[in-house]
């Protein structure tokens, strides 16, 4: 049987990742030397778009870039991965977003994000994009590196059209109830889920708002799949990680592809875990994302 090719729209950020590799992460006030430096295309939105496309989905990216040279790097990476870039808006008076990333030899990392053009993605810009690509998608992927009101507007457009909304709440901020009411699947890490709980959004409250599943990612400890009636632990795949940047984005994208293809919840999480683990064995974010053929070559296939 031929598997459905899902249509996924991503509304989110695009960043140039300036990445320095160091033996150990610095302490406050400490100066250290880097033994390698790379410039990668990144941004949580663009990362998830590229990862989903490489895993076989038809993907549209919606976001903002500056008019500088970094914009070409990002558009080229998306286009080379097969992502539609026709709904990316160029902001003339802002730089392309950037992230300064330190990666420790143990694979741990620290990231500082400079929003740039991402911060200019205001709700009125939806008039310049083809919102039918949101309404007709099999899933909408959202993160929080663009203004909250724009992510919320995208969620409402999708929700009103019956399109499943998958929210990766990173970086964490105060989320309005009205926003969460338009979310179907929430994918926080352990820290983000704890912050939601501290704000009064317990799992029970999230279910009351209409969220169907909460996928709590825990890195090497795997994923806790929270449903109204149960919680399941899905173990992480065992690999020798060298760079964890982008692993979370790979997980979100791979889950969206699998789940939108009709794969069951736990099977989709297992597939996403394997894809995310594979990405940690290579440097960079988008440069590390696997193609579906690469996963199949090592025995990882969509169920």
CATH number at residue 275: 3.40.1190.20
Tell me whether residue 160 is one of the annotated catalytic residues: no
Report the pLDDT value the prediction gives residue 2, as an integer from 0 to 100: 62
Report the pLDDT value the prediction gives residue 55, as an integer from 0 to 100: 96
Report the pLDDT value the prediction gives residue 24, as an integer from 0 to 100: 95
Find the domain containing 255 and state its range: 7-25+35-290
pLDDT tens for 247-303 read 999 999 999 999 999 999 999 999 999 999 999 998 878 888 999 999 999 888 887
pTM (predicted TM-score):
0.93
Parallel/antiparallel/unpaired status of strands 165-167 and 139-142? parallel
Q: Cα dist. 41→18, 44, 50, 108, 289 in Å?
A: 9, 10, 10, 19, 12
| Position 303 in a domain | no
Look up residue 266 and give its two tokens: 């736990």
Report the pLDDT value the prediction gives residue 283, as an integer from 0 to 100: 84
Q: Among residues 17, 87, 184, 249, which one is catalytic?
A: 249
Residues of the chain with pLDDT under 70: 1-2
Report the pLDDT value the prediction gives residue 243, as an integer from 0 to 100: 81
Domain count, the chain: 1
What one-character DSSP code corresponds to residue 288? G
| Position 30 in a domain | no
| Position 302 in a domain | no
Report the pLDDT value the prediction gives residue 240, as an integer from 0 to 100: 87
Report the pLDDT value the prediction gives residue 107, as an integer from 0 to 100: 80
Torsion angle of the four alpha carbons 180, 192, 66, 70, in this order, in degrees rounded to the nearest 10: -140
Report the pLDDT value the prediction gives residue 287, as an integer from 0 to 100: 84
| Position 77 in a domain | yes
């Amino acid at each position: 049987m031929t598997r459905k090719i899902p249509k996924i729209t991503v509304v989110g950020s695009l960043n140039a990742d300036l990445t320095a590799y160091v033996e150990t992460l610095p302490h406050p006030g400490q100066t250290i030397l880097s033994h390698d430096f790379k410039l990668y295309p990144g941004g949580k939105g663009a990362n998830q778009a590229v990862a989903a496309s490489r895993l076989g989905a038809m993907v549209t990216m919606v976001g903002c870039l500056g008019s500088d040279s970094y914009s070409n790097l990002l558009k080229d990476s998306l286009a080379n991965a097969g992502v539609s870039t026709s709904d990316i808006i160029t902001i003339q008076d802002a730089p392309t977003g950037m992230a300064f990333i330190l990666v420790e030899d143990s694979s741990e990392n620290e990231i500082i994000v400079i929003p740039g053009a991402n911060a200019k993605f205001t709700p009125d810009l939806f008039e310049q994009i083809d919102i039918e690509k949101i309404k007709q998608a099999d899933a909408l992927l959202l993160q929080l590196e663009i203004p909250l009101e724009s992510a919320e507007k995208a969620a409402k457009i999708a929700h009103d059209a019956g399109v499943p909304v998958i929210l990766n709440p990173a970086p964490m901020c105060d989320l309005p109830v009205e926003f969460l009411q338009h979310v179907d699947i929430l994918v926080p890490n352990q820290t983000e889920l704890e912050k939601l709980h501290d704000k009064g959004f317990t799992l029970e409250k999230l279910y009351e708002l209409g969220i169907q599943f909460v996928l709590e990612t825990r890195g090497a400890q795997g994923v806790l799949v929270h449903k109204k009636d149960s919680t399941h632990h899905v173990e992480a795949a065992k690999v020798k990680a060298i760079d964890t940047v982008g692993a979370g984005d790979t997980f979100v994208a791979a889950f969206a592809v699998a789940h939108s293809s009709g794969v069951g919840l736990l099977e989709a999480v297992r597939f996403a875990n394997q894809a995310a683990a594979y990405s940690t064995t290579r440097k960079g974010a988008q440069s590390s994302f696997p193609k579906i053929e690469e996963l199949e070559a090592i025995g990882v296939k969509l169920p």
